Amino acid sequence: MTDPDVPGGSPTEERVAAHPELSRRALLGAAAAGTAGLVIGGLTGPLLIASPAAAPTEPAVPEPTVHPFFGAHQAGITTPVQDHLFFAAFDMVDGTDRRDLERLLRDWTAGAARLTEGLQVGASGALAGDAELPPDDTGEALDLTPSALTVTIGFGPGLFERNGVDRYGLAAARPPELERLPPFKDDALKASSSGGELGLQVCADDPQVAVHAVRNLARIAAGRAGARWSQAGFGRTSRTTAGQHTPRNLLGFKDGTNNILSDDPDGLDRDVWVARDDGPAWLAGGTYLVLRKIEVLIEDWDQEPLSSQQTIIGRAKGSGAPLSGGHELSAPDFEARVGGALAIDRASHVRLAHPSNNRGRRILRRGYNYVDGHHPDGRLDAGLVFISFQRTPGQFIAIQRALATDRLNEYVRHVGSAIFAVPPGASAGGYIGETLLG
């Protein structure tokens, strides 16, 4: 790293000496680039990149978490849910061909893999290279840790065929299930938060790291794909490992209690990963991502008495326990009665969404809260970026249809919708999408 235009001296080196905490990224870069032996661990689960040279001066700082980008499945699905989301949907630029798409996916793979390790994108990053050319990296994450960043790439229905045109020779490869979601009762979808030919689910523990990733991947896509919409989220509303506590959504309730967890390989194979026999072959080991932007009518909800809120959800607000009793992780007893009435209401959310009400269908949820400011009428513009992964979109569709009589519907409004086929992971040297395009 050099600092052009600064005469006499090397401010970068002085900076590192004056602020030892800022050397982490540089050391991580050196470790990942030149000392492969430091990177240990398998292709699944988080691994820690050790930076032993920095340890003596940084005793109190925990090692940053780096999730491997490459693997059998893409990262960001069973990965322990990070604190922040920045989801971006893209459309391909008119006039691009299959080769452009392939190159874009190769470039995104290379860029995402570097970002995941906490490296700058491009050969020269934000500071080196030709001072007369735009930097490869935009620089706002220079001093930040990898922050458990994951980038998950998906393909929307329009990538395979748009208005009857097979732009990329992919129409025959489209899984029949990959189509725009059907209309649901009470949909109020906006084009400005729906659809997309390519989807990037970017999650990180630092929102600036997530924003940096989307910004730089969008920059890499210039001339080939452009952003259609994007949505930030915070306060993960699910858990994907048994060790994560269950967070709360903006209804004030725990969310994600009964999620499919990463330590349940049978459950993942049954409900999340596309099997080879499911077809198409290119999607084996992949999954389907459904995103619904669900606005919560916050002020209406906040006017409901606690007892009513709990009846609607079917769980206790404090503990998250089902209203049939027990604790948060107790199985709901849908037959239990209190004074003759069902303890868990027939139209409660937990009952209608529960696998026992849906022929055993389950989905892996990975949602986030969002706040987009206030509406002009003074109401909070906020809700849930619902994201789920499933072996087939039919799982989500069936559950969402079962929610048609959900009493919660009075307080929510689906304003965005998107679906993506998420191809399997890639090996180092390969690229996400190679099973489709290769």
- Which of 135, 267, 355, 430 binds a copy of itself (CB under 8 A)? It is 135
Verify binding: residue 52, a copy of itself, rule CB under 8 A.
no
Write down the least CB distance from residue 427 to a copy of itself, Å: 31
Greatest Cα pair distance in the chain: 84
Write down the least CB distance from residue 273 to a copy of itself, Å: 30
Token representation of residue 202 = 């970017």
DSSP characters over 128-178:
SS-TTS--SS--TTTTS--TT-EEEEEE-HHHH-BTTB-TTS-GGGS-TT-
Strands (E), 189-326: 198-204, 225-234, 287-296
- Which of 98, 99, 185, 327 binds a copy of itself (CB under 8 A)? It is 327
Please enumerate, as own/partner, the contacts of 281-285 that have beta carbons within 8 Å and a separation of 24 or more. Answer: 281/435, 282/173, 282/423, 282/435, 282/436, 283/175, 283/421, 283/423, 283/424, 283/435, 283/436, 284/424, 284/435, 285/72, 285/73, 285/424, 285/425
Verify binding: residue 140, a copy of itself, rule CB under 8 A.
yes
For a copy of itself, give the closer residue by CB, 37 or 59. Answer: 59
* Number of neighbours of residue 152 by Cβ within 10 angstroms: 27
Query: What span, in angstroms and rounded, lies between the C-alpha atoms of 389 and 77?
Result: 7
Write down the least CB distance from residue 424 to a copy of itself, Å: 28
* Contact by Cβ (8 Å): 312, 408: yes
Verify binding: residue 44, a copy of itself, rule CB under 8 A.
no
Size of the site for a copy of itself (CB under 8 A): 95
- Total length of the chain: 438
Verify binding: residue 142, a copy of itself, rule CB under 8 A.
yes
Write down the least CB distance from residue 350 to a copy of itself, Å: 13
- DSSP class of residue 402? H
For a copy of itself, give the closer residue by CB, 27 or 323. Answer: 323
- Grouping H, G, I as helix, E, B as strand and the rest as coil, residue 373 is strand
* Contact by Cβ (8 Å): 403, 288: no
Verify binding: residue 250, a copy of itself, rule CB under 8 A.
yes
Segment interacting with a copy of itself (CB under 8 A) among 6-14, 44-52, 67-75, 271-279 = 6-14
Verify binding: residue 340, a copy of itself, rule CB under 8 A.
no
Segment interacting with a copy of itself (CB under 8 A) among 5-13, 67-75, 272-280, 399-407 = 5-13
Query: What span, in angstroms and rounded, lies between the C-alpha atoms of 229 and 218?
Result: 12
For a copy of itself, give the closer residue by CB, 9 or 42. Answer: 9
Site for a copy of itself in 185-224 (CB under 8 A): 192, 206-208, 211, 215, 218-219
Segment interacting with a copy of itself (CB under 8 A) among 32-40, 225-233, 263-271, 353-361 = 225-233
Write down the least CB distance from residue 215 to a copy of itself, Å: 6
Segment interacting with a copy of itself (CB under 8 A) among 38-46, 145-153, 227-235, 384-392 = 227-235
For a copy of itself, give the closer residue by CB, 2 or 35. Answer: 2
β-bridge mates for residue 151, sequence order: 202
- Which of 58, 63, 161, 328 binds a copy of itself (CB under 8 A)? It is 328
Site for a copy of itself in 266-305 (CB under 8 A): 298-299, 302-305
64: phi then psi, degrees, rounded to nearest 5: -70, 145
Segment interacting with a copy of itself (CB under 8 A) among 34-42, 110-118, 357-365, 369-377 = 369-377
For a copy of itself, give the closer residue by CB, 98 or 379. Answer: 379
Query: What span, in angstroms and rounded, lies between the C-alpha atoms of 351 and 315?
Result: 10
Verify binding: residue 311, a copy of itself, rule CB under 8 A.
yes
- Which of 338, 356, 410, 438 binds a copy of itself (CB under 8 A)? It is 338
- Which of 32, 92, 101, 126 binds a copy of itself (CB under 8 A)? It is 126
Position 36, amino acid: A
* Contact by Cβ (8 Å): 387, 369: no
220: phi then psi, degrees, rounded to nearest 5: -60, -30
For a copy of itself, give the closer residue by CB, 105 or 211. Answer: 211
- Which of 99, 190, 276, 374 binds a copy of itself (CB under 8 A)? It is 374
